[in-house]
Amino acid sequence: PWKLLLLNPPAFSTSCGRRAQDRRLRRKRVISERRLTRYFVDHRKVRVVGGRGGAGGHSFYSEPRKIFGGPDGGNGGDGGHVILKADQQMKSLSSVLPFYQGFHGERGGSKNCYGANGAYMYIKVPVGTLVKEDGQVVADLTQHGEEYIAAYGGAGGKGNRFFLSNENRAPMLFTPGEPGQERVLHLELKTTAHAGLVGFPNAGKSSLLRAISRAKPAVAAYPFTTLNPHVGIVHYQDYEQVAVADIPGLIKGAHQNRGLGVSFLKHIERCRFLLYVVDLSVPQPWIQLQDLKHELEQYEKGLSERPCVVIGNKTDLAESRVNLPLLREQVPERVIALSALTGDNLEELLLHLRELYDTYVKTEQSRGQSPVKW
């Protein structure tokens, strides 16, 4: 039989096909929420030093029958800058190292050859990164591709050709390159999204984000399941995309940094409108809304006055049907009752979310500013 196989070899390799099938079935490794927390970093202290400028050249031109050709040492190249660049593909500051040194400029050569400038060093940071120095904000990178020069490179030194004059026909002087600028910066990430899901622990924010987008935050029946913000993208038929951020649950006294409250609240600052998620199954759910607005207002004045909608979650429970009409009587905002678990009435939320987004876009365009796009 093996002779027949040699006479009639197969048209394709079965082993290669099997390996290709294995590659197709192989999926991205699922990372748990607690392990993901180690990769998600929203603050980083970094020391940046610009590249040193190259020293000036020191030489004299000489060739047969022209021994005293004069000085021909070129200038050194400038040191390279260290530049922060916002990239929408970056979602965390975990890849930012604590120290960066710019590239040095090259030394000036003979025959009036200038040294090459040092290349720029780019540090990719997520969109929404604040750059602080000594507690003062020096840059706010809110647009994709926006750049900020964190440290300037030093100027290149002068060669002895630069010092040629009628009084000094053979200068011996040349200068070294200048050192680069050195700074210590604090990078702080604030999640940039159109909408922010705000609520107390176990209100169902993560379940709601999983229901309306492809994001997969952890879901469990214990508080503080979400340990870092997640951003999900809601797609519409006209190819518009609305970014919704799942902010980790707040507690009373969050503005006083209880329960890591300040680290959670700072991610709400960049949200253009808010989605208050209230658990309808608890007694007096409107108290939750009052407490949430109080925490936002204490953290930043006017934060609770942004365009919003109240989402009454967990309508699949019997207690929620009793509390829903009471909630609508107590709050002036629009209340959308739904169940993130069963998917009931999600269409009303998606339509109203698009209305909030369109209003935001028109407002930004009327001000002459470009709205944030995903």
DSSP string for residues in 274-302: EEEEEETTSSSTHHHHHHHHHHHHHHSTT
- Give me the residue label for tokens 């390996």: 19
Tell me the C-alpha distance between 246 and 197, whole Å: 5
DSSP 20-47: HHHHHH--PPP--HHHHHHH---EEEEE
pTM to 2 decimals?
Answer: 0.66
The pLDDT tens digits of the residues spanning 49-107 come to: 999 999 999 998 887 777 777 899 999 999 999 999 999 888 778 889 999 999 999 99
pLDDT of 36 higher than 80: no
Domain ranges of the chain: 40-191, 195-367
pLDDT tens, 168-212? 888 889 999 999 999 999 998 877 778 888 888 877 888 888 888
Range with the poorest average pLDDT among 9-13, 315-319, 335-339:
9-13
pLDDT at 43: 80
The arithmetic mean of pLDDT across residues 27-45, rounded, is: 58
- Residues 353, 308 contacting (CB under 8 angstroms): no
Indicate if the pLDDT at residue 295 is higher than 50. yes
Q: Are 361 and 372 in contact (CB under 8 A)?
A: no
Residues 40-191, CATH architecture: Distorted Sandwich (2.70)
Residues in the chain: 374
pLDDT digits (tens, 9 = 90+) for 263-276: 567 778 778 889 99
Which range is least confidently modeled, 114-118, 168-172, 228-232, 337-341?
228-232
| 119-128, 131-140, 315-324: range with lowest mean pLDDT | 315-324
pLDDT (0 to 100) of residue 264: 65
Q: Output the pLDDT for position 131.
A: 93
DSSP-H helix ranges across the chain: 2-7, 14-25, 33-39, 205-212, 261-265, 286-299, 318-330, 346-366
Let me know how many helices (H) and strands (E) the chain has, helices first. Answer: 8, 14
**Is residue 308 a contact partner of residue 273, using CB atoms and an 8 Å limit?**
yes
Q: Which CATH number fits domain 195-367: 1.10.10.10, 3.30.930.10, 3.40.50.300, 3.30.470.20?
A: 3.40.50.300
